[in-house]
Amino acid sequence: MEAKRETKIEDKKSNLILENRRKLTINGVIEVINFNENQILLNTDVGTMMVKGQELKMNKLDVQNGDVIITGKVDSFVYTSDKSKIKKDSIISRLFR
């Protein structure tokens, strides 16, 4: 029987670089869940991240390496709870729309 190894957030890497509130570089991205010009929702190695702003665009999307570059006016970026919980909530919320 194979023992499952639980990976902690401390064991994973994710880097953020914000330049003049106009360019956000993110490493450790697993997938892009949803995006429009005012909000981008990403799954990262350390949880789900929501980026809010104006005229947001994804200039570079390299999911194979986990790199994303977002340009536009960045107002905020927030990590929400564990990505598995967010996925479950979004599936349930999709059913009841």
The strand pairing partners of 71, in sequence order, are 23, 57
The strand pairing partners of 25, in sequence order, are 17, 69
* 19: CB partners within 8 A, 6+ apart: 25
pTM exceeds 0.85? no
CATH class of 11-95: mainly beta
| Averaged pLDDT for residues 60-80 | 91
Higher pLDDT pick, 14 / 40: 40
Higher pLDDT pick, 78 / 89: 78
**CA 63, CA 87: separation in Å to the nearest integer?**
18
Task: Count CA atoms closer than 13 A to 53's CA, side-chain side.
Answer: 23
Condensed to tens digits (0 to 9), the pLDDT of residues 37-55 reads 999 999 998 889 999 999 9
Domain ranges for the chain, please list them.
Answer: 11-95
**Residue 18 three-state SS:** strand
